[in-house]
A = this chain, B = another copy of it.
Amino acid sequence: MITLTSAEENYLKAIYHLSDGGKKGVSTNDVSAEMKTKPASVSDMLRKLGEKDVIEYRKYYGLHITEEGKKLALQTIRKHRLWEVFLVEKLKFSWDEVNEVADELSHVKSKVLIQRLDEYLGFPKFDPHGDPIPDEYGDVRARPRQLLNELDLGSTGQIVAVKDSSPAFLRYLDKVGAYIGARIKVMDKTEFDGSVEILVDNKKSIFMSKDVAGNILVMV
């Protein structure tokens, strides 16, 4: 059984994201930028991750994540996202506050803790940013998502994510009555400026500029 330290887990998670799920190769400098550590430190870490067979590492030529590496990265991502759900849904953190704390929480080493947390949260499939939560075995059930401004007139869906999760944008959404999970229907589209009128939860009608709608991901 491969075991990773917290730092190794963090690196592997970053590498997974940089690999875009497993295709592209990744350079030392890429990882250095992502992790905010010096390239020299990265080289050393890549050697270690290579020895543990979670990446395939060729000196001077970058790396590719392995199948085993993907599996472990997804397990780390799962833990991170479950804690994010907990922080936002139960402890009322806002979306932009959770990342750092969830990172620390996700390094607590207890399998049963994560199982119970998952159960307690009602087996959520998406985190507060709308990103899918892998299951225990690393399987991700990614549902098709579309930008709100690209939906056809009359189509319905559910808000599952935002691209811009800045506090200002979140405050705006809150103000107009939109939120992750809201069921929406496109009531009207104005062609010349791209703005849309949306019915939220079959109750409230709101107007959105193209810029705003283009930051909202909807599951159709």
Contact = CB atoms under 8 A, between A and B. Distances in A.
A106 to B, nearest CB: 10
Interface of A is mostly: helix
A105 interface: yes
A96 interface: no
A91 B108 contact: no
A86 B116 CA distance: 12
A92 to B, nearest CB: 6
Contact of A91 (B91, B107, B113): B113
A109 B105 CA distance: 10
A18 interface: no
Contact of A101 (B91, B93, B101, B110): B110
Contact of A108 (B90, B92, B104): B104
A120 interface: yes
A117 interface: yes
A25 B107 CA distance: 35
B117 A91 contact: yes
Contacts of A101: 108, 110, 113
Nearest to A107: B104
A87 to B, nearest CB: 8
Give the 3 A-B CB pairs with smallest separation, nearest first.
Answer: A91-B116, A104-B108, A101-B110
Given A91-B113, A93-B116, 17 more contacts: A87-B113, A90-B120, A91-B116, A91-B117, A91-B120, A92-B116, A97-B112, A100-B110, A101-B108, A101-B110, A101-B113, A104-B107, A104-B108, A104-B109, A104-B110, A105-B105, A105-B108
19 contacts: A87-B113, A90-B120, A91-B113, A91-B116, A91-B117, A91-B120, A92-B116, A93-B116, A97-B112, A100-B110, A101-B108, A101-B110, A101-B113, A104-B107, A104-B108, A104-B109, A104-B110, A105-B105, A105-B108
